[in-house]
A and B are shown apart, each in its own frame.
Chain A
Amino acid sequence: MSANKPEYQSPESLFDRLDPLLTQVSKPIQYVGGELNARSKDWDSVPVHWALMYPDAYEVGLPNQGVQILYEVLNERSDALAERTYAVWPDLEKLLREHGVPQFTVDGHRAVGAFDVLGVSFATELGYTNMLTALDLAGIPMHAADRGDEHPIVLGGGHAAFNPEPISDFIDAAVLGDGEQIVGAITEVIAAHKAAGSPGGRDELLVRLAETGGVYVPRFYDVSYVLDGPSAGQLASVRPNRDRVPERVSKHTVMDLDEWPYPKTPLVPMAESVHERMSVEIFRGCTRGCRFCQAGMITRPVRERSIEGIGKMVESGLAATGFEEVGLLSLSSADHSEIGPLAKQLADRYEESRVSLSLPSTRVDAFNIDLANEFSRNGRRSGLTFAPEGGSERLRRVINKMVSHEDLISTVTAAYSQGWRQVKLYFMCGLPTETDEDVLEIATMAQDVIRAGRTATGSRDIKATVSIGGFVPKPHTPFQWAAQAAPEVVDSRLKKLRDAINSDRSLGRNIGMRYHDGQPSLIEGLLSRGDRRVGAVIERVWRSGGRFDGWSEHFSYQRWLDAADAVLPAHGVDIGFFTTRERDADEVLPWDHLDSGLDKQWLWDDWQDALTGYEQDDCRWTPCFDCGVCPTMGTDIQVGPTGRSLLPLAAATPKR
């Protein structure tokens, strides 16, 4: 389109052109930047310019830890600057098109096309269409193959980038795993290439990135398909098509979190965002081994931040932001080896202030309640959340999230009797081997929770909420071979569950049920386990108006089905091929050439163990079970206890 217009590639501020448009859109503050702790660096002071995009609305994107970390890490470098850009809502998209104003960064209001790199962080696949909007508005050719030396390198990251094949037409490169160190390495490659006068142009730059072994450049790999026989339509092979490019691309792992205490000065949004709190990541990785959990599989091994490091980040972050709440983040925060002393010492330190602490709590045991009590010493005890994930004990063995019905009831009884008034229970529907009976046990569990709560408190006024999400099989997990449940199956089970919960009105009226219907999950499944042939489906959806697919008011299931029906049959496949079809052991998977460290044979064995309900322990407390990550990546689990404690504070706490 307008790719060659100079304004699409000029780093000059566009704010004066944007200003009159902002008075005509909803929540204009999300587009103006200037938040507390936002950075702004002189364009000409550095050789390498990064635009970092979270492909969703500002209110969702701003709190994202990944983007905040990379923003700070890059801006601290003397050879780079980073500015942020978010998805614009359709009201502003329309005005930008009418007035010829390109996709812009919120920091300097510079055209995204002016940057050297557009890094896009995909926490979920449902942001893919928003990336296409941004590329189009930026005047960057949508297809990587059509880009020239003057265009930014479009670089994908985040958990969804562990299978970037569905977006391989649109990105130039992808990075797997922790970004802190690799963004520096990429900056140095780009800076050296530029300093040498950009020899060989864009193609040579991409080769230089690819030959590091840590940057995946899809165009340097040829994919072939099985043309006939029972495996027709499946991948035959994925091979590098030139020298200097590795067979497999490895993920990145930051080994010492204390060396990377980011974000040090978290961004404080001016607009209201989804998380009005500061987050401190207390460890990365998880070896609980829940078989559905992609995050737990691809972030191994466990690496703990030290108790002193956490204490410093909480203190300096609060001083830098003025936030009132601190969330201690990780995939299973109660599993930090020193969480007990940490919780007590932080609660002591902030008892006199109005700072509140929270722990995303998913473990179903009494220890979790002790921690929650510590964090609510003088506050209201409203809701406590547990995530049994599977409705029946049999199903919980399949997913390797073992908690018995009795344990759950005794845990919630303890919670209610210690003053907690509401218990939230998280489940998934559509898990492998699941039957109607497994899901109906959620109703039994919820009813038993209410009975136990009434007995424990002597009051009828207690509440439980069951929240149910549709299960989506993800790459690099033992369930990567599983058949996804059809939306009709999920919806029918949820209806039966609702009827079962309401069958006893005296209990049912105290049970809330929250769920999503199964259709968005199927599309997420298509995008999660799709291959390069799915790219044309995404593009077709976008061209027919698809935007903000993570938002139910914007998502159109029919649009996705129509696009899949129009595109996929030419390849002899359909949407079911990618979603509801179970894969065999010997099938070449679209992400096999992307190395998450997990041994494929181990994943397969764990999948077979799942089908027989055989549980897998946690390598933090039991011997190594050879998932493959540590030997492949040269890493090791890093856990305490260290026996150390929070350092005493040098300065006064925020409270006078």
Chain B
Amino acid sequence: MARRQPEGPPPAPIVQRIRVQYAKRGRMRFSSHRDFARAFERSLRRAAVPMAYSAGFHPHPKISYVGAAPTGVGSEAEYLEIALAERCEPADVIAAIDAVLPDGLDMVLAVDVLDAPPGSLPDQIQASHWRLELADDPAVLVEAVAELMRHESVMVDRLTKDGKRSIDARAAIVTGIVSAGTEDQSRAIIELVVRQATPAVRPDDVLAALTSVAGFAPSQPPRATRLAQGPLSENGAVGDPLRITTVKDTGTPVSTR
């Protein structure tokens, strides 16, 4: 017999796209990307956001994600784009979503695509600014990072579901700066600007590279946070992917709250 088809009219057309910056903070940094996506989709329903849906028996809200931070890593700068079937004020949409998301999954900024830089959202994501906090002597890290930067290429193994995968953890690094913690001078902070590559080089890959070239092993699992993602300027700063501005000489993250 013929397969049943969904009855009724086709889904409402897309009238607006909104790009959203969100953060993964505190204990919610332990959420995986899939965990976030489920929570976000539920929040869209609770906030009654007039989403545009795909066709078929199981319509899905139209959401695209870019470059999710790994599980266990915090982030101030994750991005996604949603498609709406009714026009809305972007700030109102994320305020409604933020009110129904668990604390720690926080909406930061939203702009209409028409007000955003041209091109797709992935086009805007050229580099990522990471901060790694380690319970180790900054002097040791200064040496280790300097040694890493002397190399052109450092291959490290990453364990994936399909086995080991070899990636170059050095080539993608634009800058690596070590400083002492402001509260605790005996703790080291590494700030990294890493060019977007496939597969993406992540903080644990850089740590593996430090082990490989300098024999460095962290005394405790480091805490990593993504501070920014966006266009990469010639002087190595990471800009804001949601605003049409020339990239300034600053890598500081954008925050509107």
Contacts and interface: CB of A to CB of B under 8 A. Distances in A.
Interface string A23-52: 110011101111110000000000000000
Contacts of B48: 652, 654-656
B16 interface: no
Contacts of B32: 27, 29
Contacts of B257: none
Nearest to B47: A322
Given A272-B38, A322-B42, A656-B86, A20 B31 contact: no
A631 B57 CA distance: 50
B87 interface: no
Contacts of B104: 34
B135 to A, nearest CB: 9
B248 interface: no
Contacts of A419: 1, 4
B221 interface: yes
Interface string B45-74: 110101001000111000000000001100
A32 B27 contact: yes
A459 interface: yes
Interface in A370-400: 378-381
Nearest to B46: A322
24 contacts: A23-B72, A28-B72, A29-B31, A29-B32, A32-B27, A32-B30, A36-B102, A268-B39, A268-B42, A276-B38, A319-B46, A321-B46, A322-B42, A322-B43, A322-B44, A322-B46, A354-B53, A354-B59, A378-B6, A379-B57, A380-B58, A654-B45, A654-B46, A654-B48
A458 B27 contact: no
B157 to A, nearest CB: 18
A458 B57 contact: no
SS of B interface (majority): loop
B141 interface: no
A197 to B, nearest CB: 38
Given A272-B38, A322-B43, A15 B27 contact: yes
Interface in B26-42: 27-28, 30-32, 34-35, 38-39, 41-42
Interface residues of A, number: 38
Contacts of B103: 34
Given A23-B221, A34-B103, A656-B48, A378 B30 contact: no
Given A28-B71, A28-B72, A270 B220 contact: no
A108 to B, nearest CB: 12
A22 B220 CA distance: 12
B30 A29 contact: yes
Nearest to B135: A20
Nearest to B221: A23
Interface string B85-108: 010000000000000111110000
A22 B45 contact: no
A270 B35 contact: yes
Given A36-B39, A268-B42, 4 more contacts: A29-B71, A268-B39, A270-B102, A457-B1
A32 B46 CA distance: 23
A28 B32 CA distance: 9
Contacts of B101: 36
A324 interface: yes
Contacts of A32: 27-28, 30
A270 B39 contact: yes
Contacts of B234: none
A89 interface: no
A337 to B, nearest CB: 31
A35 B46 contact: no
A471 to B, nearest CB: 36
A321 B4 contact: no
Q: Which of B1, B32, B57 has the most CB of A within 10 A?
A: B1
Interface string B193-214: 0000000000000000000000
Nearest to B31: A29
Given A270-B31, A380-B57, A656-B86, A324 B45 contact: yes
A271 interface: yes
A555 interface: no
A22 B30 contact: yes
Contacts of B31: 29, 270
Given A272-B35, A378-B7, A458-B1, A322 B58 contact: no
Contacts of B43: 322
B163 interface: no
Interface in A190-222: none
A236 to B, nearest CB: 54
B1 A459 contact: yes
A27 B33 CA distance: 11
B8 interface: yes
A323 interface: yes
Interface string A406-448: 0000000000000100000000000000000000000000000
Lowest 6 CB-CB distances: which A-B pairs, in order?
A322-B42, A322-B46, A32-B27, A28-B30, A380-B57, A322-B45
Given A36-B102, A458-B1, A378 B8 contact: yes
B50 A322 contact: no
B206 to A, nearest CB: 15
